[in-house]
Structure 1
Amino acid sequence: MSILNLSAYKFVTIEDGPAWRPLVTERCNALGLKGTILLAPEGINLFIAGPVAEVRAFIDYLRGDALFGGRFADLQFKESLSEKQPFRRMLVKLKREIITMKKPAIRPELGRAPSVDAPTLKVWLDRGHDDTGRPVVMLDTRNAFEVDVGTFEHALDYRITKFSEFPEVIEQNRADLEGKTVVSFCTGGIRCEKAAIHMKEVGIDHVYQLEGGILKYFEEVGGAHYTGECFVFDYRTALNPDLEPTATAQCFGCRAVVPAEAQKSPYYTPGKTCPACHPDAKTGNSQAA
């Protein structure tokens, strides 16, 4: 386990993204890091990996370099270890939003939605209500294929295919949330933070985001009240509650998630096809490669 994997985000005004991009790229390459960093006017979002010492050096760079004017001094990271580098290359991209909701009026740096940390949420779920006695409902803000890999018990899942659908499905399903404490969650915290802010803005009361998302929950309390694994957007595909890579894979042909059992199918060829996309799967031809 010699590779340290980092994920982090922060909503903060960034005006110098185009000037920062080549400098951040140069520092990552010099340290031998791989992954993706998104820079947008609303903030930063990153998934990177590399040798432990080099990743720690990059953390110090982000938090302390004068280039960033202290914007990332309090940047919090979610960490996990792996045996292999899960990314193929290093990319630093300029984007309009670090997570696309198509709601540009949302400016999280002007005020975060209330959050609940993992130990507190576990207590709420243990007893079935929050500290006021209000029932707690978990709201999954991820895409449907991610939810299928694993989610919290009894979580609301509106089968969205992209995050920009979230405002519409919430408007259609407001009745599910009335009179309850709503905890939005996602992989690392970024989507559920935007989701919580949106829900507050449209008048839904008693909304919290899960601080740090599923990965921070796993790190702090394990898999209590969670069923399955957590999909991650790198070559590990999914992590268990111990933050270890699992046997779950992703098809490089159609991007479908392929559980360990499905990998035994004659329609599964790593790097090519799976039961969801193999041309013979619908006809039931068992002679498929």
Structure 2
Amino acid sequence: MNATVEQLAPVEQQATAGWVVAALYQFKEVANPEDLQQRLLDLVKTINLCGTLIVAGEGINGTVAGSRDAINTIHQFLLGEGFNTMEYKESHSSDKPFRKMKIKLKKEIVTLGVEVKPRDLVGHYLDPKEWNDLIARDDVILIDTRNDYEYKAGTFKNAIDPKTETFREFPEYVKKELEQHKDKKIAMFCTGGIRCEKSTSLLLQEGFDEVYHLKGGVLKYLEETPAEESLWEGECFVFDGRTAVKHGMEEGVNTKCHACGWPLTPEEVAEPTYEHGVSCVYCIEKTTDKQKEGFRMRQSQIIAAKRKRL
């Protein structure tokens, strides 16, 4: 597989109130990813789903949304394909969280760019209670393996921001910043757990002694941990129309800048630099007037399309 293949299926408006959102992944050998991609595409054409699923030789990853029946159908299909130890989490969205349904064929279900073996070599899994106990210790290095804009929306208290724009940059961060800490306890976390499957495998492969990660990621932590016991600060960025979620997996108050993708607090939205779909405090100086005019045109087209559907 030398290129990413993307298949699209049409998605109708959700007839029922609200959407069930399912985030899932599993590292599992897939003998014929192209065949699985096609059968998934055939399936989603028959049910009302939106979101993205990534298929690769190493497994499956993605987030989809639909009615209760549609989510049950895709879930049962994957279980029937042998994905019976999936990391699987559900939440809800009041509005349609994705525009389309995409089935992508890739080399990796999450792109690290370095060959690792997460099915064979992986760090110590910790549940939320064990995680709280570990990261409260002074001898633990706590690393947020997510991207810089995700860190901005919220993170664990005292977590280190590697300042990576993509997960592919993480191996370089390890070489530059962590090489001298191979004898330390390293705790890492990400949104749903999949990036930490690879990051802990990478560190163990590089000779680190004690590597830990949060099982089920931040989403599982926010689902299970009462706010009064939580060490999480802020909201958790999600890759759908909700922008972020908070404790109890409720929708957060952050708004995504559709020009640059950064999450914005209500105070940042109120600043004069913010123009919906055009600019925010983080990108207003990074785009030209011509680009901003293009963004305005795009935004007007989006609004017109929404009015037609009403």
What TM-score do the two structures reach when normalised by structure 2? 0.81
The one-letter code of the counterpart of 2:189 is: F
Q: CA deviation at 1:251?
A: 1.3
The one-letter code of the counterpart of 1:116 is: L
Match in the other structure for 2:266: 260
Q: CA deviation at 1:159?
A: 0.8
Contact 1:135 1:181 survives alignment (8 Å): yes
Q: Which has the larger helix fraction?
A: 2
Match in the other structure for 2:161: 157
Q: CA deviation at 1:180?
A: 3.3
Aligned CA-pair RMSD = 2.2
Pairing partner for 2:92 from 73, 81, 84: 81
Pairing partner for 1:98 from 92, 102, 109: 109
Match in the other structure for 2:45: 29
Match in the other structure for 1:244: 250
Match in the other structure for 1:197: 201
Match in the other structure for 1:50: 66
Tell me: CA distance 1:281–1:170, structure 2 relative to 1, closer, same or farther (3 Å). Answer: closer
Query: Which sections of structure 2, spanning at least 5 residues, go unmatched?
Result: 1-16, 289-295, 297-310
Pairing partner for 2:283 from 277, 282, 287: 277
CA deviations 1:148-200 (Å, max 9, x no partner) are 11100001212111111111211222267454321110001011110001001
CA deviations 1:7-46 (Å, max 9, x no partner) are 1111111121111112102212312010000001111101
Match in the other structure for 2:3: none
Within a 5 Å distance, the mapping from 1:102-141 to structure 2 comes to 102-104=113-115, 106-125=116-135, 128-129=136-137, 135-141=139-145
The one-letter code of the counterpart of 1:123 is: D
Once residues 41 and 86 of structure 2 are traced to their aligned partners in structure 1, the CA distance between those partners, rounded to angstroms, is 19
Once residues 202 and 38 of structure 1 are traced to their aligned partners in structure 2, the CA distance between those partners, rounded to angstroms, is 27
Contact 1:267 1:281 survives alignment (8 Å): no
Match in the other structure for 2:239: 233
The one-letter code of the counterpart of 2:148 is: A
The one-letter code of the counterpart of 1:216 is: K
Match in the other structure for 2:173: 169
Contact 1:251 1:257 survives alignment (8 Å): yes
Once residues 59 and 254 of structure 2 are traced to their aligned partners in structure 1, the CA distance between those partners, rounded to angstroms, is 31
In the TM superposition, structure 1's runs of 4+ consecutive aligned residues that sit over 6 Å from their partners are none
What TM-score do the two structures reach when normalised by structure 1? 0.87
Pairing partner for 2:34 from 5, 18, 29: 18
